[in-house]
Amino acid sequence: MAVINDGFSTIISLGGTNLFEKEVTPPGIDGGGANDTTTMRNTTWRTMQPKKLKTLSECSFVAAYAIAAYSTLLSLLQVNQLVTVTFPDASTLAFWGWLDKFTPNASKEGEQPTANCTLIPSNQDDNGAEIAPVYTPGP
């Protein structure tokens, strides 16, 4: 397993959008904290156990965009679909989720316009079946 030494080029595949990634923050993994198992029979220490369920956290990215992105994004917003993050080593993380936010940043002379985008993992397909994220190593 090789360490990624440069974030270039991390991209997101999402329903044929006209978005061009400049920065990508892949989703994280959250265990949800502890279940408190302390009772009145404990003598010295509070006790805890890990929770059973996991959370795949939000994924965000900053992207340059084509003006035509507006019509495409209107049809993709809040639509549960398969999202794939491709890392520089060609490995991928695929998960079910949706585009929750497309927020353009200020347009300035001499700078490429960008937008902040947020994806929320649903971890379930359109039939409601729980689908775990799938990591596939690169070649």
The predicted-structure confidence for 104-128, as pLDDT tens digits, reads as follows 999 999 999 999 999 999 999 999 9
- What is the tally of structural domains in the chain? 1
Range of the domain at 124: 11-32+49-136
CATH number at residue 17: 2.30.110.20
In a domain, 93, yes or no: yes
Query: Residue 56 and residue 121: Cα distance in Å, rounded?
Result: 6
Instruction: Please report whether residue 95 resides in a domain.
Output: yes
pLDDT in tens, 26-85: 999 999 999 999 999 999 999 999 999 999 999 999 999 998 888 888 899 999 999 999
Confidence at residue 40, expressed as pLDDT on a 0 to 100 scale = 98
Cβ atoms of 27 and 12 within 8 Å: the answer is: no
The residue type at 58: E
